[in-house]
Amino acid sequence: IEGVALDGIFALRNFADAGRIRQRTEAAQSVVIVGGGFIGMEIAHTLAGLGKQVTLLEMAPRVLGRSVAPAISIYADARARAAGIDLKVDIGVASMEGSNGHVAAVRLADGSRIPADLVILGTGVVPNVELAADAGLEIANGIVVDEALRTADHRILALGDAASFHHWHAGRPVRLESVQNASDQAKHAARTITGKAGAYRDVPWFWSDQGDIKLQTAGLSLDADRFVVSGNPDDDAFSVWHFSGPRLLAVDSINRAADHMIARKLLAAGVDPSDADIAAGAPRLKELALARP
């Protein structure tokens, strides 16, 4: 993006970035956040809560579009607007405009201009695979590893955000950017190193705190072709159950921690609840989860 090197434009990738953003936030009034994924939405709510004028820009037709069901996106969009965030979707960024070397505005693809004295980019990342590539390891949307997290050179293991592995439940290579996956894979790598290699089969789960919204996801909804909603969005507590035919793939939950925990157990056990089971509620779902060892 033209002008992206101007002072006052940040990405959030590490603790030092967080410190710099926090320092600049104190004097900033108009903040533009580019990207409506987890990072963008979380920062938007945080800064709006601090009284800043926040505009969030998303190129896709809906926020959180790559991560959650449409019903969750609709809910998150409404809550963001209610929190005072000026949310604009289906719009691209043309350039950053500056004054005396500091960002002053964001120019959109439609020619409009949004004043900004602080810009935060939450537009996604690419894996750092340079070291692995230099070592001659296989690279395909990350560092390719087997079920024991060994690379093409079995003396070298890779894990976390940069590792691409065949996921047992999704049935395809995936690369997961989450704390949970990195932590669970670290434990699995330790087992491999100590001669206890096996197949990595942990259920992926994620979370995002956006204002008073606790969003939790269990599983991967990549091939979902139908959805079942439990709870009521108007009560600020509901879940969306993702299925491929009768097979449960994932569950997105808003302020329903019990649904999230049950979903993780069902996915780990390979249990596929029916629509009637979901409608029956937690007691029936717990019964199903406990019935499968």
Q: What is the pLDDT at residue 67?
A: 86
Mean predicted confidence (pLDDT) in 189-210: 95
CATH, range 9-121: 3.50.50.60
Q: What is the pLDDT at residue 49?
A: 96
| 98-to-62, 86, 118 alpha-carbon distances in Å | 29, 22, 11
Same fold, 9-121 and 205-291: no
Of the options 3.30.9.10, 3.40.50.1820, 3.30.390.30, 3.50.50.60, the CATH number for the domain spanning 130-193: 3.50.50.60
Mean predicted confidence (pLDDT) in 210-232: 94
Q: What is the pLDDT at residue 293?
A: 59
Mutual orientation of helices 282-291 and 257-269 as an angle, nearest 10°? 30
For the chain, domain boundaries: 9-121, 130-193, 205-291
Mean predicted confidence (pLDDT) in 218-225: 93
pLDDT greater than 80 at residue 18: yes
Reported as a pLDDT band with limits 50, 70 and 90, residue 125 is confident
Other Cβ atoms less than 10 A from the Cβ of 235: the count is 10
* Exposed / middle / buried, residue 216 (Cβ in 10 Å: 0-12, 13-18, 19+): buried
Mean predicted confidence (pLDDT) in 131-158: 97
- Model pTM? 0.89
- What is the spatial distance between Cα 252 and Cα 181, in angstroms, rounded to a whole number? 17
Closest CA to 239 of 263, 211, 210, 208: 263
- What is the spatial distance between Cα 84 and Cα 63, in angstroms, rounded to a whole number? 16
Mean predicted confidence (pLDDT) in 5-21: 94
The 10s digit of each residue's pLDDT in 30-80 is 999 999 999 999 999 999 999 999 999 999 999 999 889 899 999 999 999
Reported as a pLDDT band with limits 50, 70 and 90, residue 144 is very high
Q: What is the pLDDT at residue 124?
A: 84
Mean predicted confidence (pLDDT) in 260-277: 96
- Measure CA of the first residue to CA of the last residue in the chain; give whole Å: 52
The beta-carbon contacts of 271-274 under 8 Å, at least 24 apart in sequence, are 272/243, 272/246, 272/247, 272/248, 273/241, 273/248, 274/246
CATH architecture of the domain 205-291 equals 2-Layer Sandwich (3.30)
pLDDT greater than 90 at residue 159: yes
pLDDT greater than 90 at residue 289: no
Q: What is the pLDDT at residue 271?
A: 95
Q: What is the pLDDT at residue 46?
A: 95
Closest CA to 38 of 61, 10, 6, 72: 72
